[in-house]
Amino acid sequence: MKDAGVTSYRDLKNMIEKNREVIYSNDMEEQQETATTALHSSVDNITIHNPIVNLSITEDESKPSTSKQQIVHENIFDQLKGNNKHIFVLSTAGKPIYTRFGNENQMASLFGLMIALVSVTQDSNDTLQSICCGHTRIVFLNKDPIILVGVSQSAEPYDRIKKQLTYVYNNIISILTLTQLKKIFHNRNNFDLRRLMSGSERLIDKLISFTENDPGFYLDSISCLQMPSSNRDKITQTILTECSKIKNLVFGLLIAQKHIISIIRMKKYSLEVSDIHLILNLINSTESFKTAESWTPICLPAFDSSGFMHAHISYLAEDCQACLVLLTIDRDLFFLLSDAKRKITEKMRRNDCLQAINEAIVRQPLNLARANIVGLRHLLYKNKNRSQHWSPPFTSPYNTDTLQQNLMSVYCSLISQMNFPGRTLKVIYQQLTAETMLAWATDDVELYMCFEPLVSKECATNAITKLTQWMKKEEDSLFIFNIPMF
């Protein structure tokens, strides 16, 4: 089985750090990686010698004895009790790629079953989607050459789990590009993708946490940093004047933690929400960006899954923790962009933009109490045309994590009901034991409100009108209305 064939490639996995070379042999027994000669070659032409003929799953997996199998299953079950959501990623040949919890090496028999289920369905020209078992939901996402499986224990809507899997898939694409992924598995069906991915598991972990907590994920929208629109325009203009001259620059984003301050884009191109979420996750999960400006290849799956873009990522200044991301298709643009960023910072410092950003970051977020609507506790407001949302901070009685989580899952099930394929709805009014929920959708707005449980229907109806009027006044500072092109 041992094979002397050697492959080397530019390591994509740690693109956050400087590209470093990794050496491995394509030895079938993964534990025994023997280091051999390293050859430099570009990502685009991975050369694999003597590809090993695929082994079927049954041959590939060592068959554990029944009792051992039992123990492994017990373990997975125990882990799941503690962890509400499990996510597995594997290749269509049954090789583990990622698991959220536990050690994927112990799950060979489970992965074997997953592959078998998927392929049997495929044989009849169909695609396996989900299994329901009490409160347990098992969702499959078949993205040949990889398969993603999500298991939730809390009766979550299928579409949400499926979207989470899509996000994980997108993250993998953002590291490798789809073209590359296909090529790798085309050349060697039982390739162990973990070799290319080590280091990015953490990114996926963080992304999954993001999908569990962030209303932006539920609503397919982004959240903007609240600031007076005049300040925002000034900032956007500063970035735009510096960037519009640079050839091949496609997008520019200014980010403060989870919020977007400003976006600029090249004519005819627009940035999809799911791609922005990936960028936000990358930035918020990587501490090293704060210390040094970085040059990172990244593939934006919704924009173009076939190729890399290159991102210049840097925080504006020591005294202004906003992160500027400049995306280009030209891999040699680092110094030009670095220069542009320096100029942008200088200019922003001169015209007080840095100060405006800092003020906006430290300012107390807009509180719902300001709207003064009787009985209203919390809400999610989505501007559909702009794909942007606003949600006030949680206030009493949602003081604990559990209560906030519960409310978020109520929102989540409402959102999924409102947008269910084949039966989209306009209004849902739901009186539950702990709160009264109202979901309301028009062509431009999606609104999810949480009231006290005994609020009257009249009161709830009036709240919509009142809130809509109030939002008219506030929305200038809450949303980005001006996304200039160059």
Partner 1 sequence: MPTEVIVQNLYIFNSKLSKTEEDGANKILFYYPAYEDENKKVLNVGHIEAVIYFTTNFNKNQSCESLRTEKTLQVLYNPEPDFWIIITLSAQCKTKQNLSASSDEPVYCTYNLQEPIYLAILKHWYHTFQMTVGNMTKLMIENDADHLRVMLNKFYNKYLQSTDVSSQTFMDMFQGISFLPLENVIHLYAQSFLNAIENTFQQVDFSMLLYNDSLVWSGLNKRQTQLVYSYILMWVLPEIIRDENVVKGNSVQKLLPNQLVGRFITNIWAIKTDSWSCDLGKVPVLWLRNNNDDTFKSYRLVIYKAHHSILCMFIKMDNPLTADLYNSLDQFLGTKLHLLSEKIKNSVEKSLSSKSYTDRPAKFVYFNAMNLAIKNSIKSSHTTSITNKYSEFNLSPEALRILVDISSQHSCLHPTSSTMIKTSNDNWVAGRLCNSREIYIVLNQKLTKLCDVDLEIQNLCTQELGTIFFYD
Under the rule (CB under 8 A), what is the footprint of partner 1?
Answer: 73, 76-77, 80, 86, 110, 113-114, 116-117, 120-121, 126-136, 138, 151, 153, 155, 158, 413, 417, 420-433, 456-458, 460-461
Sequence-ordered list of residues with C-beta below 8 angstroms from that of 344, at least 6 positions apart, any chain: 238, 239, 242, 243, 316, 324
Closest contact distance (angstroms) between CB of 134 and partner 1 is 3
Cα(127)–Cα(119) distance, rounded to whole angstroms?
9
CB of 121 to partner 1, least distance (A): 6
CB of 116 to partner 1, least distance (A): 6
Pairing of strands 222-223, 388-390: parallel
Complex with partner 1: residue 165 or 323, whichever CB lies closer: 165
Nearer to partner 1, 76 or 329 (CB): 76
CA–CA distance, 175 with 278 (Å, rounded to integer) = 11
Whether residue 207 contacts residue 330, with contact meaning beta carbons closer than 8 Å, is answered with no
Residue 92 Cβ, how far from partner 1 at the closest point, in Å?
Answer: 17
Q: How far is the CB of 461 from partner 1 (least distance, A)?
A: 5
Pick between residue 118 and residue 325 the one whose CB is nearest to partner 1: 118
* Residue nearer to partner 1 on the CB measure, 133 or 292: 133
> Nearer to partner 1 by C-beta: 74 or 401?
74
For residue 293, give Cα distances in angstroms to 14, 206, 258, 314, 337: 15, 22, 19, 4, 11
CA distance 276 to 272: 6
Q: Which is nearer to partner 1, 249 or 449 (CB)?
A: 449
Q: Smallest gap, in angstroms, from Cβ of residue 377 to partner 1?
A: 18
Distance of closest approach, residue 261 Cβ to partner 1, in angstroms: 36
**Number of Cβ atoms within 10 Å of the Cβ of 28:** 14
Own/partner pairs, 105-110, CB within 8 angstroms, 24+ separation:
106/72, 106/75, 107/72, 107/76, 108/61, 108/62, 108/64, 109/61, 109/63, 109/64, 109/69, 109/72, 110/72, 110/73, 110/76
Q: Compare residues 39 and 131 and give the one whose CB is closer to partner 1.
A: 131
